Amino acid sequence: MSEPPSTVFLRPIGSPVALGLAGLVGASLVASGLELGWVAPDERAHAALIILAFAFPLQLAASLIAFAARDGAIGAALGVLAGTWLATALVWLTSIPGSVSGSLGLLLLASAGLLAGTGTAAATGKLLPAAVFLLEGLRFALVGIHELSGTEFWQNAGGVVGLVVVALAGYAMLALALEDAKDRTVLPAGRRGPGAQALTGSFEEQVAPVANEAGVRRQL
């Protein structure tokens, strides 16, 4: 007796990467403002609330949509960012302005390593978002060292790298938003390999690996 046919449904969705990068732009700019002294230390609670209200929900939503769109590397990177910013905001809200936290420092170092891994994976298809994740991982590492040591140099270095993240993530957000709106490359986004094929490949090439992807195959 032959097996009954099975059907896999694919739902077209907009790319969530620009949304996640928008959250990163906001969070990095606010954090760098604190680290470089542009914002008074006693406003740290306000910065935490801004991150909770703006960056965290945008990156969490973008992460979930990225997994639904079958891009695990981007989804994992945005998920790490969402969790890290949530933890940072909660520590800021429950600690004295200007103080450091060794626990937060360890988390930031862990997040730096996780972003290095997910950024490397993302670089197999999309160089621009991968560069943003790797650079933000560097920023987390610098700020993590500051939280552990209390040395102001690392705080300032993290703030400067955070501003570079703001600029690069802002450009990446614009490039990917235009790409999604125009269905073609408008600004260079560093697509290569499977990332380039995602825009230029045929429908058959796009859906060929679906049978072996998570959610369809028997085990993750």
User: What are the C-alpha distances in Å from 9 to residues 6, 28, 185, 204, 207?
Assistant: 10, 38, 27, 14, 11
Alpha helices (H) along 183-218: 194-200, 203-207
192 against 20, higher pLDDT:
20
Model pTM above 0.95: no
**For the residues 111-136, what does the mean pLDDT come to?**
93
**For the residues 194-214, what does the mean pLDDT come to?**
58
Residues 157-177 have pLDDT tens digits of 999 999 999 999 999 999 888
Structure tokens at 142: 């610098």
β partners of residue 191: 126
